[in-house]
Chains A and B, each alone.
Chain A
Amino acid sequence: MRENSISIIGSYKTKNTVEKIAAVVFKICAFFAVLAVFAITIYMIISGTPAIFEVGLKEILFSTVWAPNAATPSYGILYVILTSIVGTSMAILIGVPIGVMTAIFLAETAPKPLAKIVKPAVELLAGIPSVIYGLLGILILNPFIYKLERIVFQGSTTHQFTGGSNLISAVLVLAIMILPTVINISESALRAVPLHYKHASLALGATPIQTIFKVILPAAKSGIMTAVVLGVGRAIGEAMAISLVAGNGANLPLPFNSVRFLTTAVVSEMSYAADTHKDVLFTIGLVLFVFIMLINLLLNKVMKGGDKDVS
């Protein structure tokens, strides 16, 4: 056989190896995400549990006093957890209705030229770095809330004035931050509702408003649920925007109290914490991680339960 003859058998062999290598390489790439999630889960558990043994699970989760630097340190994060839950739900209660209404406006009632300007603007806002929201929160929202605070607590001797850095400010910042997410996803859910639903409803004599609220909204339910769950995820995981706005005292989450979220506790103290204090911060991270995982599972359920074309 000549050396340089073209053989379909020979080239088939090299091709075969290349093919096999390619297949394996792609498979490895694909498992990278799985690996990453497992690694993150394991590391969060490994770094979050030592404090539980040191301090005691009950001490951490159900004690309300956060004084890591005191002579007899106390690491209760009950108020911190409560703040995250209350703050997130308040932000959702404010942000979701406004967001969904805006989505209805964009998808249904807005004049076309106006929608064409507003929609790109909303998309742009989804990309704005969260620190910028925090900056504006400090400079615009805090002074305003402080004025409100002075009016509400006029003459009160027991209230600790926060200078505007309190739960309300943080909730408002969070509500504004989740707006773009809620608007974008709800709008595409509304647009995905088949047109003949709308036509049929209008033809039966329903007014446009009745059509929107009784036909289109229910049909887009699962997409809107997705928007809400993603909004919850964004709000509960946000750190930088609210770390300077919320005031950072570990207090009961009342509107005019200086409060500390799970995320802001980590951000504000991680840089100087040591030993047990640092371990507890990782436990806070673990608690946050558990919340996020629950939200993710919920999201997975919602997306699967909904219509495929909506999600």
Chain B
Amino acid sequence: MSVEISIYNKRIRPLDGLAHGIIYLCASISIFLLAGIVGYVAVRGISSISWDFLTTVPSSINGTFGIAGNIVNTLYIIVLTLLIAIPFGVGAAIYLSEYAKPGRIVRLIEFTTETLSGIPSIIFGLFGSVFFGITLHLGFSILTGALTLSLMVLPLITRNTQEALKTVPDSYRSGALGIGATKWYMIRTILLPSAMPGIITGIILSVGRIVGESAALLFTAGSGFLLPKVGNYGEGLFQKILQPGGSLTIQLYLSMEKAEYDQAFGIALVLLVIVFGINMLTKYLSNKFNVNKF
């Protein structure tokens, strides 16, 4: 035998080296792909971004193409969706972690919440267009889109709030109840403020999901791109809710269909920046609140 078996000689394992190689190869593929995507969008998109691009609406008379209308529509959809989803989502979480006793009902609610988060957005889109659009006669409108999306982000808010409520120590609860607070008073003044970081994280994640959503909005919110016509007393602001309005992602899709790739990359870059900002904000919040976590 050429190599004496001894604890001083390390046995060479070719398979180990191979496995290492595969791991590093796969990791570099992923990293390369992911970095490539961001880099490519940034490089191609930066040239179409200009002040005009961000502040005008598409108009063949003026010869402009801008996404101001779509930005406003996206904001409308975000605000409306959150207004609908936050009360229900937070309320559901409070029920699940403070009121409900473990059993059939809780399991049913948790299962459906889980299911809801697994349903693809195209199904939400179909359901929203039939139920809110046709049955409730809302047609293609921002409200239809927001109602549809609020079903979609409901699980996100519920789950994050639930997690946050779990981290509030039980001593807070017994302390508040012990000095005579009622349950609702305790929830309102002790639990919700303590759980606020988690709730806010859920909300920010929902905003991210709303900004990136397209399939659920195509058949519900439609594809309008005009700015709301605001009257002297702001009366147009509310009418806009019942008018169709395409979000940034919808406009991106439409530009893509028309093969206007420069516009598409401009919008893609705007979306990336928003997603990046949201990500940073979530990171910041979770870091900030993890430090002084009891």
Contact = CB atoms under 8 A, between A and B. Distances in A.
Contacts of B127: 39-40, 43-44
Given A131-B214, A266-B126, A98 B26 contact: yes
B262 to A, nearest CB: 11
B141 to A, nearest CB: 16
A121 B34 contact: yes
B121 A237 contact: yes
Contact of A26 (B15, B20, B41, B91): B91
Interface stretch (B58-66, B169-177, B237-245, B250-258): B250-258
Contacts of B261: 135, 138-139
Contacts of B95: 26-27, 29-30
Interface residues of B, number: 84
A139 B98 CA distance: 51
Contacts of A230: 118
Contact of A120 (B115, B126, B283): B283
A63 interface: no
A110 interface: yes
Range for the number of chain A residues in contact with chain B: 35 or more
Contacts, number: 242
A282 to B, nearest CB: 7
Contact of B114 (A128, A139, A266, A300): A300
Contacts of B89: 29
Interface of A: 15, 18-19, 22-23, 25-34, 36-40, 43-44, 47, 97-99, 101-102, 104-106, 109-110, 118, 120-125, 127-136, 138-140, 176, 179-180, 183, 207-210, 212-213, 230, 233-234, 236-240, 244, 263, 266-267, 270-271, 282, 285, 288-289, 292-293, 295-296, 299-300
Nearest to A124: B279
Interface string B9-39: 0000101100110111111011101110110
B264 interface: yes
B149 to A, nearest CB: 12
B80 interface: no
Contact of B99 (A27, A266, A295): A27
Given A40-B123, A210-B16, 13 more contacts: A23-B99, A26-B98, A34-B109, A40-B119, A101-B23, A102-B30, A105-B26, A131-B214, A132-B37, A282-B126, A285-B126, A288-B123, A292-B118
Nearest to B251: A131
Nearest to B91: A29
**Which of A23, A40, A244, A293: most chain B Cβ within 10 A?**
A40
A76 B33 CA distance: 37
Given A15-B182, A233-B120, A129 B109 contact: no
B271 A129 contact: yes
B72 interface: no
Closest 4 CB pairs of A and B: A237-B120, A29-B91, A101-B26, A129-B212
B5 interface: no
Nearest to B41: A132
Which secondary structure characterizes the binding site on chain B?
helix
B126 A98 contact: no
A118 B268 contact: no
A205 to B, nearest CB: 10
Interface stretch (B48-56, B150-158, B193-201, B225-233): B150-158
Contacts of B94: 26, 29
A234 B113 CA distance: 17
Given A15-B182, A210-B16, A285-B123, A140 B212 contact: no
Given A33-B155, A129-B212, A134 B256 contact: yes
Nearest to B20: A209
30 contacts: A18-B182, A26-B94, A29-B95, A33-B113, A33-B155, A33-B158, A34-B112, A37-B116, A40-B124, A44-B127, A98-B29, A101-B27, A102-B26, A109-B23, A118-B27, A120-B279, A121-B31, A127-B208, A128-B37, A132-B37, A139-B261, A212-B19, A239-B120, A240-B214, A240-B218, A267-B215, A270-B126, A285-B122, A285-B126, A299-B114
A28 B20 CA distance: 53
Given A128-B275, A213-B19, A292-B119, A97 B26 contact: yes
A128 B24 CA distance: 24
B9 to A, nearest CB: 14
Given A34-B108, A267-B122, A29 B87 contact: yes
Given A34-B112, A128-B37, A239-B215, A296 B123 contact: no
Given A23-B99, A118-B31, A267-B215, A136 B112 contact: no
B30 A136 contact: no
A105 B283 contact: no
Nearest to B217: A240
Contacts of A23: 99, 183-184
